[in-house]
Amino acid sequence: MNAPDKLPASPEPHVMKTYGRLPLALSHGRGCWLWDTHGKKYLDGLGGIAVNTLGHAHPKLVPALTDQIGKIIHSSNYYLVPLQEQLAAKLCELSGLTNVFFCSTGLEANEGALKIARKYGHDKGIDRPEIVVYEAAFHGRSIATLSATGNPKVQAGFGPLVEGFVRVPLNDSAAIEKVAATNKNVVAVFLEVIQGEGGIRPTTIEYLREVRRICDANGWLLMLDEVQCGMGRTGKWFAHQWAGIQPDVMPLAKGLGSGVPVGAIVCGPKAANVFGPGNHGTTFGGNPLAMRAGVETIRIMEEDGILENAATVGAALKAGLERELAGVQGVADIRGQGLMLGIELARPCGDILGLAAEAGLMLSVTADKVIRLVPPLILSADEAAQIVAILCPIIKTFLSQPAP
């Protein structure tokens, strides 16, 4: 939206101004629909940024979480937490990995993964371990994870950055081969299977297999940040499963608790025993409410066939966008998998976020030019068709007007 000449007084004068927010507040939701405090209804194409896996007020999730809140919300990691073992065992079953550490957010899962990589290196006698990271990557906003992130805007003003990262371009096997040949301090490769904030940019299946091979040949950990693309979003539990490979370390968060904050570092045998007692911890991580949210999210996904839904409805949504936007000047690319889709325009399109909200559709714009759709995984085919019907005319009108 164009900035008005005089900005109205902020409706949130005491909230730190870290977000450019639309001037609306959501009061409640049901399924893939949201209502604001004025009663206006929206179709949810954003899912709280790939978080609300089961949409809003899911009829199976609400009673389960209500039951848990009535029993115990938080206990402490000083005691056994049976729901941690339950969720950990389930994540291991789904991923083929062996052990899990629970935390509360994506950056925290990634921060823990970076610590595992460094300690893995030290345990091998590498005093200055380095980690391969990627151009346009996003891993979070703590000092270490923003250092691993490949976006100067995220880093600006926060130097000195954490050292020990080697950056390479995505899907470029020669570049990582070169690192392997020349840098003996490397201990791990850290990447998103589909870059989210970077603009819905997938790694190719061939590249993932190649990186797995290079990691094995060099004794490196393969660490796949599935914070956004994991938990069923692409139509498999984890996006790397499309390539038939397994990581050594897999950070999860966003969709894992359907909106309740929960993160996890899922590890295979090479990484599972790197941390010992006292090496890592968190106060909130793994609390019974968060664990119940994870357990119930997965249970409901299995019961209701949500993976198949994400795959088929995602394919229909993509096909609908491709059909309606075919030949439209200024649409550069439509990409992604399952219900993680990006429409790249030839020019910056941040205004689309507000235009879509006005038309009753929630979405986001990332990497300046990419319209991102990461709706709840319960989206129906009819709702997907409605997204296409609302969004495509907005894009066409936007592109028909001259760039400012």
Q: Which residues bind ligand PLP (CB under 6 A)?
A: 105-107, 110, 138-140, 192, 196-197, 225, 227-228, 253-254
- CB 237 to ligand PLP: min, Å: 16
- CB 294 to ligand PLP: min, Å: 14
Q: Of the two residues 223 and 361, which places its CB atom closer to ligand PLP in the complex?
A: 223
* Measured distance between the N- and C-terminal CA atoms of the chain, rounded to whole angstroms: 12
- CB 310 to ligand PLP: min, Å: 17
| CA separation for the pair 180, 178 (Å, rounded) | 5
Nearest to 104 by CA among 299, 274, 280, 260: 260
Q: How far is CA 97 from the centre of its chain?
A: 20
- CB 253 to ligand PLP: min, Å: 5
What tokens does 327 get?
């030949």
- DSSP letter for 227, please: T
Nearest to 54 by CA among 304, 404, 387: 304
| CA separation for the pair 268, 26 (Å, rounded) | 40
Q: Are 319 and 381 in contact (CB under 8 A)?
A: no
Closest residue to bound ligand PLP by CB: 106
Helix (H, G, I), strand (E, B) or coil at 262: coil
Q: What is the secondary structure of 164-180 as a DSSP string?
A: -EEEE-TT-HHHHHHHH
Query: Cα dist. 325→11, 270, 363 in Å?
Result: 37, 46, 17
- CB 173 to ligand PLP: min, Å: 22
Q: Are 254 and 50 in contact (CB under 8 A)?
A: yes
- CB 181 to ligand PLP: min, Å: 28
| CA separation for the pair 243, 261 (Å, rounded) | 28
Burial grade of 340 (CB within 10 A; 0-12, 13-18, 19 or more): buried
Q: Of the two residues 130 and 225, which places its CB atom closer to ligand PLP in the complex?
A: 225
Q: Of the two residues 33 and 238, which places its CB atom closer to ligand PLP in the complex?
A: 238
CA dihedral (73, 77, 80, 86) positive or negative: positive
Q: Of the two residues 138 and 237, which places its CB atom closer to ligand PLP in the complex?
A: 138
- CB 145 to ligand PLP: min, Å: 7
- CB 217 to ligand PLP: min, Å: 26
The amino acid at 282: T
Helix (H, G, I), strand (E, B) or coil at 105: coil
CB neighbours of 164 closer than 8 A, spacing ≥ 6? 118, 128, 129, 130, 131
Q: How far is CA 287 from the centre of its chain?
A: 21
How many CB atoms neighbour CB 348 within 10 A? 14
Q: Of the two residues 31 and 48, which places its CB atom closer to ligand PLP in the complex?
A: 48
Q: Of the two residues 251 and 320, which places its CB atom closer to ligand PLP in the complex?
A: 251
Q: Of the two residues 145 and 386, which places its CB atom closer to ligand PLP in the complex?
A: 145
Q: Of the two residues 44 and 192, which places its CB atom closer to ligand PLP in the complex?
A: 192
- CB 141 to ligand PLP: min, Å: 7
- CB 21 to ligand PLP: min, Å: 16
Q: Of the two residues 136 and 166, which places its CB atom closer to ligand PLP in the complex?
A: 136
Q: Of the two residues 48 and 320, which places its CB atom closer to ligand PLP in the complex?
A: 48
The amino acid at 169: P
